[in-house]
A and B are shown apart, each in its own frame.
Chain A
Amino acid sequence: MHRYLAQRLLQLVPVLLGVSILVFLMIHLVPGDPAQVLLQDYGSSEQIAAFRHALGLDRPLPVQYGTFVWRLLHGDLGRSIHSGRPVAAEIAARLPYTLRLAACAMAVAVALGVALGTLAALHHRRFVDYGSMVVALAGISLPSFWFGLVLILAFSYYLRWLPAAGADSAASIVLPGVTLGAEAASIIARLTRSSLLEILHQEYIRTARAKGAGAARTIFRHAFKNALIPVLSIAGLQFAGLLGGAVIIETVFGWPGVGRLAIDAIFNRDLPMVQGVVLVAAVIFVVVNLMVDLLYGLLDPRIRYS
């Protein structure tokens, strides 16, 4: 078990290395220059050259990358070219918002998804089944920037129950959380339905049902536990995926998370900031997946780690 854990954590290294090289190459392939974006060209060409030199942007790419890795090994993510602030501090200030949002979204997604999926499976091929699947599908097929605005109009503008933007109060998280969770909810609902169906058709459940055990009890005692294993795995992947979805949601709701930070950094060609955000996202992705795998082992004794 410990060896497995160590091995998995060791795998983080090549993944992070790969991600950082990918980011590095991507930003350098994209036309655009952070010095130019910041100085907006009104400076003289000497001024821009001096600025680029100060940032080390005029050095060969491998040297720039080497410097980046060297600093990273010393725990230094550098400073944002655009804002001049330390990247680590900026991410540390904004990551908690995104994590909170993602956690809220995940709670919505799991609650809604498992409920809809169970409902559908229990009424397989009846109206409730189709109805709940259509509801679930809405989450994955409505553009979030549109769905989010509709929610704001409904609950914030007309009903005035919830704030429209910002992260001031506990209520602020509800609308962005629901919007962000909707997509994951639909995936979880569909998976819950199919894995429950699979299990409900298995011999031992049929036997239990035939023996007259109540449907509800059967489901909760036997089927649910097994059915939730794949759901858990998807939920884990989705949680990591939420960071990507947060890009748009955070813009719509004025939520001060890292999604917006990431996209602004890309548009500003702010390499250190893009590096920082993507690396953090990659770490979260890998760690969440590892946790999911470990939970898997706890839930399903058939899986052995070696």
Chain B
Amino acid sequence: MRLGVTVLLAVLAASLCAPVHSAPVRGGTLNIAIDADPPSLDPHKTPSSGIPHSLLYNTLVTVDRQTGAFIPSLADSWTIAEGGKVITFKLHPGVKFHDGTPFTSQAVKATLDRLTAPATGAPGASWIGPLDRVEAPDDLTVRLVFKQPYAPIFSSLRIPFLAMLSPAAIAKYGKDYGQEPVGTGPFKFRQWIPGDRIALDRNPDYAWGAKFYQNHGAPYVDSVVLHIIPDESTRSIAFERGDLDILPTAPPKDVARLRQMGRYQVFQTPDDGGLYLGLNVTKPLLSDVRVRQALGYGINRDEVVNYALERLAVPMDSPVAPTIWGYAKGLTHAFHYDPDRARRLLTEAGWKPGPDGILQKGGRPLAFTVWTYPRETYVRMAVVLQTELKKIGVRMSIEQMEVATLLARTPKGEHDALLIGYGWPDADILYYFFHSSRMATTNRVHFSNAEVDRLLEAGRVTVDPQKRLAVYRDLQELLLEQAPWIPLASQISVTFAQSRVRDLAEDKFGTLLLDDAYLVK
């Protein structure tokens, strides 16, 4: 439904801005803003993938622009055997890397072997799951053999972390692959001036774009230049000046203003992730599940959405955001704003009002500190939460913390609570956040529950989608009841484009689709 609205909006905006639908024009440069240099253009050397990776590379599968279903990309078809342990892909013939070498099953094998080799140190290596080996029976057939079934594999396969690399280029550049990236994507690498720009040129040989494109050949634009502009305000101004054609993920505070101007195309996509308040359940204060639940009922998510996120979000009622595969609607333990219930829970837990309006028990105030990253959105949310929680007699202090410090200190359990976010298209991400084996790393709330562990493990090996959805439904219900996380909101990303850009699109996950795009004067 939301997707329908999104598409409608985009179509509406496009039709308003482009009254005459003309034939595509060749040529020109698309100028696009990005906020930071990617750590590397080598998919095996970067913890985050973004626009440059999705333009340079292709993956075996991709998602349909509208339905989000997995559809062929470099693989034409696939079969799943042995209860999900073996997946056989038939590869698309005639695909060439930017360096001219053919894309074959050997390339898939070389890529995945490099990804999983410990020496590579690939941040995205874990997303391939318990892969045992890759077999290449012939040039256009490749088999992934897993130690056990790994249900989320297709979500991983479409992410640029698992994009296909040229074996010849791996041999030639090795560690420096990121400086001379070679993929099969619609654009090839020209130049990277760190801190300034990444320039890509149209791949003239490109003829293997996904089915949903109108254009099945090379892109219409000659080149794409990604301008690295870290400051939000500067980025918006550069776009308004017309220096940029596309402003992806516009700063929330500028969205309403830019939209009002009425002269830009607007693309709205709900994020496949969300923001949450994570509670360290080993802290005496927060170890009482009633206190955790009270926090859940004491927060008005509408206030968070309206004031902290500029209305560019939807309230989140489960640890799994609505856009993520596995989200369960209408859970009985889903939090809603009910301050009376919050107060009742706290009274039950033995907390009594103190002189300053903050609840007390045994002389100790109901007060805790939340750690968050020094990013405007997070800090704004923290301040709104602070105001909300004060109304039910809870004092929350805020401490901004750099990413590196937070990552290093949370495994030790020094923190009371965290306000951060995550994004991943599959509910399996919860494995990292709540499985007891992840305690020292991504399980930052130090939560441990045998039933949760069991469900998380079942979610990984249950290949049948309906059964898997049922597993995640039970899991979400249990997690809400135990309340190690208070889900807050899932943001909506907004991309603006000048009216001179035609037939631009975004897929369900906010990936910019440039194959059909062209520029008019």
Contact = CB atoms under 8 A, between A and B. Distances in A.
Interface of A: 30-34, 36-48, 50-51, 54, 79, 82-85, 90, 93-94, 97, 149, 152-153, 156-157, 160, 163-167, 250-257, 260-261, 264, 267-269
A107 B405 CA distance: 39
Given A31-B405, A31-B408, A32-B402, A90 B440 contact: no
24 contacts: A31-B404, A31-B408, A33-B404, A33-B407, A36-B404, A36-B408, A37-B407, A40-B47, A40-B407, A41-B442, A42-B123, A44-B126, A46-B118, A48-B441, A97-B196, A152-B234, A163-B238, A164-B243, A165-B235, A166-B197, A166-B227, A166-B238, A254-B229, A257-B195
A190 B231 CA distance: 32
Contacts of A97: 195-196
A269 B404 contact: yes
Given A30-B404, A54-B121, A163-B238, 18 more contacts: A31-B404, A32-B404, A41-B407, A42-B441, A47-B121, A83-B39, A84-B39, A84-B40, A84-B45, A84-B176, A165-B227, A251-B230, A251-B231, A253-B231, A253-B234, A256-B194, A267-B403, A268-B404
A47 B123 CA distance: 9
Nearest to B179: A85
B446 to A, nearest CB: 14
Interface residues of B, number: 47
A163 to B, nearest CB: 6
Interface in B155-187: 175-176, 178-179
Contacts of B127: 42
B119 interface: yes
A165 B234 contact: yes
A33 B408 contact: yes
Contacts of A252: 231, 234
Contact of B402 (A85, A157, A267): A267
Contact of B441 (A45, A164, A268, A269): A45
Given A164-B243, A165-B238, A30 B405 contact: yes
B243 A163 contact: yes
Contacts of A268: 404
B420 to A, nearest CB: 12
Given A84-B40, A164-B237, A256 B228 contact: yes
Contacts of A39: 47, 121, 123
Main secondary structure of the interface of A (DSSP, over half): helix
Interface string B399-420: 0001111011100000000000
Contacts of A50: 118-119, 121
A93 B36 CA distance: 17
B229 A166 contact: yes
Contacts of B197: 166
Nearest to B239: A164
Given A43-B123, A166-B229, A38 B47 contact: yes
Contacts of A165: 227, 229, 231, 234-235, 237-238, 243
Contact of B405 (A32, A79, A84, A85): A32
